[in-house]
Structure 1
């Protein structure tokens, strides 16, 4: 596990993207597209992240760059976890 995110995040990515799971450890800069992230998987990742963390990410924040790597996706998730926890 990376020190950048919790085990649930890594687990959900591995569950949705089996080719990512085959790599073993999930590095922060792995291309999610290279391990099978397509538009359907993107929706599944988003829904699972929102349900797992009890957050709601507005469509305006869902730029394609967010889904570049585990690190870019986690940065968005973590930002909303923090902002919605203080709200």
Structure 2
């Protein structure tokens, strides 16, 4: 399905590798899951995802997203319905 959506021109944002809450997950594990999710979508679509959304993020998630680099945005904040800048 992902390949078909990408072929159609839809944006493929990354929603993580596992469906779990990262609140109590070790930072190293979260980092490895993030790398695996990025690698998987890149392999399937031929392009690295530009957006990130964990949904059940940890205090480390935003910093790890920046550490991975290459993302245009992350959607893990519900503080507003419009995009805005944050310091990391």
Pick the structure with more strand per residue.
2
TM-score, length-scaled by structure 2: 0.28
* Larger Rg belongs to: 2
TM-score, length-scaled by structure 1: 0.28
Pick the structure with more helix per residue.
1
